[in-house]
Structure formats: structure tokens, C-alpha cells
Amino acid sequence: MESAQQLDGLYVPALYDDLYNKDNTFKALKAKPGLPHRVKRASVTDLSRFRTRSTIMTPHTTFDRTFLIEVSRGCPHGCRFCAAGYVYRPPRFRPPGDLADCIREEKLSAAKIGLVGAAVSDLPGLEALCSTISGDGTEVSFSSLRADALTDGLLTQLKQNRVKTATIAPDAGSERMRVCINKGLSEKDILNAASKLVAAGIPNLKLYFMIGLPFETMQDIDAIIALCKNIKRAFLESSREKGRMGQITVSLSPFVPKPHTPFQWAPMEKVPVLKKKIKRIKQALGNVPNLTVQADVPRWAYIQALFSRGDRRVADILLAGRDHQWNWAKTFKSSDIDPDFYVHRRRDELEVFPWDFIDHGIRKSFLLTEYKKAQKGKRTRECNPDTCSLCGACPPPSQP
């Protein structure tokens, strides 16, 4: 109890009671006397104080001989669907010198260095860091790169590191939809990136898209198809010069609304509609040579959405799931709780959310404004923690 009173970031569920309205919506989380009503997130301002990197190297993991090092936390781009982009605000980067020292000390045990972060391509000094690593004969890999960040130097690094597949995440097919999600990538950026990657000798391309985004129409789905065909064309032209054609993999994920994001008010798209959208894309791209389409299962996205935005009562569904050996059809049938209430309901602007008690420093009113801007097709600028206090996560700039 004392620790929960004194330490930021400590939440003891048993010391808080959940209350509900007559219409089943969440009313409040009532703290026992002496406890804070909102639990403040614990956050590190200066990342160089703690090195977060692989501590055990073993062949018995997915990354076996790759030494992973976290280069940044948060992301400055503000994509409206992305939980990591909001809950880890403000964006912070490790000083390149600190990263180089850490890598120098550790890399004897690793064949490859993996740079991890939501915004790896925004890391100041990334190119220089990569050439330090690869100059010593060690490979480097990235968790993801933005299409508009592929400089010549970075492409050289990808080539030197024998990268065979590069991933680009347009996330949506139409310009309208990319503005809606605040992606900040134009079709030109995406096509340029595809051409540049092939020209740099990286044969395969993976493209990530979401379907079922808020305010999405069938025209936006058709725009995914058109964009993939345009990317294939750009890919083909660059490949001709190289004399070989790689593979394009289009990956489709149903959108799941997440807490603490501007889309936390949005309903998730219905499973049959998601299936229809996937089918439409697969049919349209099915005969395109050297291109394959993969899609996540909409029913799994539904389960994810249920547990992403459920309240404490949803724990009963989890227990029932265990009792029914994770047969979800049987589980839902046996439960009094309606999962659609959590997954498909459009939430009222004033609704209290079960996660509102976690204080990430971001104003809920800011998230709502972002949701409304998405609907109106308006962009929000990228983070600049030196001058900005827009969302509340950074202290106000000091007056001269």
C-alpha cells in the first residue's frame, strides 16, 4: 500500500474498485483512500542512463546470433493508429556515441547487430553508426525503415549488409487514407523507395497495409490494389536494369483500435466486411506475377480487439476460454458478456475508458482532437520536443 502511494508507475489492481453505469459502460476506477486516482507512468528522460540490449545470446531464440540494441523510444510521426507512438511519448534517441561504445564492447559475441526502435530511421547519426558496425565486418539489421528516409548512404548500408528483403509500410492505399491516419508518406515517396531499393540490389520487397481503418471506404481498398500494381511497375522497371526480378509480398492486417490512441473511440470493422476486403484484394492481385498476398485472420483480430479495449469483466471471458480449450465459439456462447459491446461499439466522446487512469502525460482532449482531425482529413505535424507542448507529454518550452 505504501509503495503504491509513493512510487510513480506502480499500480495495484486490488487497491482500486471498478464501477459501471446502468448502460454497462465503464464509470470509474475508485482508489482506496490515500492512493492517487491516476497512476503516473514511469519514464526515463535520458535513455543513455540505461543500456537496453540483449543480455543473453543463445541459438535457441529467433534472433540467435543477433545482438539487439534499443536505439530509441517513441516515434515523432504521430500515426493515429499506433499505440507505441503515443504511450512512449516524447520520442527519445540514444546518443550515437553511446550506441557505438555499447556495440564495440559487445559485438565479439554476435554475428549481427539488430537496431530496435519504433523510429530507427530517425536516429541522428544512423548512417555513421551503420558504417562503424559494418566497417568491422559485422552485419547490421533494422526493425523497420520509413520509405521517405532511404538516403543513398542508408541504401549503401543495406546493400553492404546483404539485406535480401526490405519492408515498407504504406499502411493505407490512398493519399486520403494516409492523411487520415497521419502517416505522412506520399505515393511518390513509396514508389521512389521501391525503385531505389531494387536499384541498390535488394531483390525482395514486403509491403504492410491495414484494412478496416476508421473512415475507410471500398475506394480506399481499391487504392491498395492500385498502389501495389504501381509499386510492381516501379519494381519491374528497376529490376530490368538489374536483369532479375525479386518477389513482392503484400501483407494485410485488420486494424485493431488501441487504447491511448486517437482511434480508441472507433469501432472495429465487422469480420465479414474484413473478409470481403481481403478477398477483393487477393482476387485483384492474385494473378500478378512475382507478387503474393498474405492476410492475418480477421477472427484473431476480433479477439485481439476484445482484450485490447475490454474492462475487468472481460477477464471472465479469458477464464472461460481456458475452460473451453481456447475454442472461442464455445467460449462466447457460454459467457453472459457480449464481446461485440467492446469490439464494435462506437464510443461516445465523453465516455470514461477503463484505461484512463494510466497517466502517460498525454491529454485525452488532444487524442479526441486528433480523432476529429482524422475524420476531417487533416494532418498533425511531427513532434519537435524542443519547441512543442501540443499533446502534453513534453514540458512547455522555456520562455527566452
Question: Which CB, 44 or 297, lies closer to ligand SF4?
Answer: 44
**Strand pairing report for 72-73 and 92-93:** antiparallel
| Interacting residues of 166 by C-beta distance below 8 A, sequence separation 6+ | 145, 158, 197, 202, 204, 205, 206
Distance between CA atoms of residues 32 and 75, nearest Å? 35
Chain centroid, CA 101 distance in Å: 29
Distance, in Å, from the CA atom of 94 to the CA atom of 126, rounded to the nearest integer, reads 11
Q: Is 384 in the site for ligand SF4 (CB under 6 A)?
A: yes
Q: How far is the CB of 40 from ligand SF4 (least distance, A)?
A: 16
The CA radius of gyration of the chain, in Å to the nearest whole number, is 23
Distance of alpha carbon 109 from alpha carbon 211, whole angstroms: 41
Kindly indicate which of the ranges 197-205, 253-261, 271-279, 386-394 contains the residues binding ligand SF4, using the contact rule CB under 6 A: 386-394
Rounded to whole angstroms, the Cα distance separating 349 from 310 reads 17
Helices (H), the chain: 2-6, 83-87, 96-106, 126-135, 152-160, 175-180, 187-199, 218-242, 271-285, 298-308, 315-323, 328-334, 339-343, 364-376
Q: How many CB atoms lie within 10 A of CB 159?
A: 14
Least separation in angstroms between residue 239's CB and ligand SF4 is: 39
With CB under 6 A as the contact rule, the residue among 385, 397, 399, 400 that binds ligand SF4 is: 385
Q: Considering the rule CB under 6 A, would residue 391 count as an interface residue with ligand SF4?
A: yes
Asked if 84 interacts with ligand SF4 (CB under 6 A), we say no
Position 389 contacts ligand SF4 (CB under 6 A): yes
Q: Is-contact 137 131, C-beta < 8 A?
A: no
| Positions in 316-355 near ligand SF4 (CB under 6 A) | none
Q: Which of the stretches 237-245, 258-266, 277-285, 383-391 binds ligand SF4 when contact is defined by CB under 6 A?
A: 383-391
Which of 303/367 has CB closer to ligand SF4? Answer: 367
For ligand SF4, which residue of 90, 170, 254, 262 counts as binding (CB under 6 A)?
90
**Cα separation, 190 vs 298, whole angstroms:** 26
Residues whose CB is less than 8 angstroms from the CB of residue 84 and which lie 6 or more positions away in sequence, other chains included:
74, 75, 118
Q: Which stretch binds ligand SF4 (CB under 6 A): 102-110, 122-130, 162-170, 391-399?
A: 391-399
**Alpha carbon of 165 to those of 83, 189, 201, 207, 223: distances in Å?**
26, 18, 10, 10, 24
* One of 110, 118, 168, 393 touching ligand SF4 (CB under 6 A): 393
User: Which range of residues in 141-149, 199-207, 319-327, 380-388 is near ligand SF4 by CB under 6 A?
Assistant: 380-388
Q: Report the nearest approach of ligand SF4 to the CB of residue 145 (Å).
A: 21
Stretch that binds ligand SF4, among 162-170, 232-240, 277-285, 385-393 (CB under 6 A): 385-393
Cα separation, 372 vs 366, whole angstroms: 10
Segment interacting with ligand SF4, rule: CB under 6 A, options 32-40, 178-186, 191-199, 377-385: 377-385
- Smallest separation, CB 176 to ligand SF4 (Å): 23
For ligand SF4, which is the closer residue by CB, 259 or 392?
392
Calculated CA dihedral for residues 368, 374, 376, 380, nearest 10 degrees: 90
Q: Which of 10, 57, 271, 390 binds ligand SF4 (CB under 6 A)?
A: 390
Size of site (CB under 6 A) for ligand SF4 = 11
Q: Which residue is nearest to ligand SF4 (CB)?
A: 383
CB neighbour list of residue 127: distance below 8 Å, 6 or more residues apart:
151, 153, 154, 157
User: Which of 53, 89, 178, 232 is the binder for ligand SF4 (CB under 6 A)?
Assistant: 89
* 49: Cα separation from own chain's centroid: 25
In whole angstroms, how close is the CB of 45 to ligand SF4 at the nearest point?
Answer: 12
User: Which is closer to ligand SF4, CB of 283 or CB of 389?
Assistant: 389
Which residues of the shown chain bind ligand SF4 in the complex (CB under 6 A)? Answer: 89-90, 383-385, 388-391, 393-394
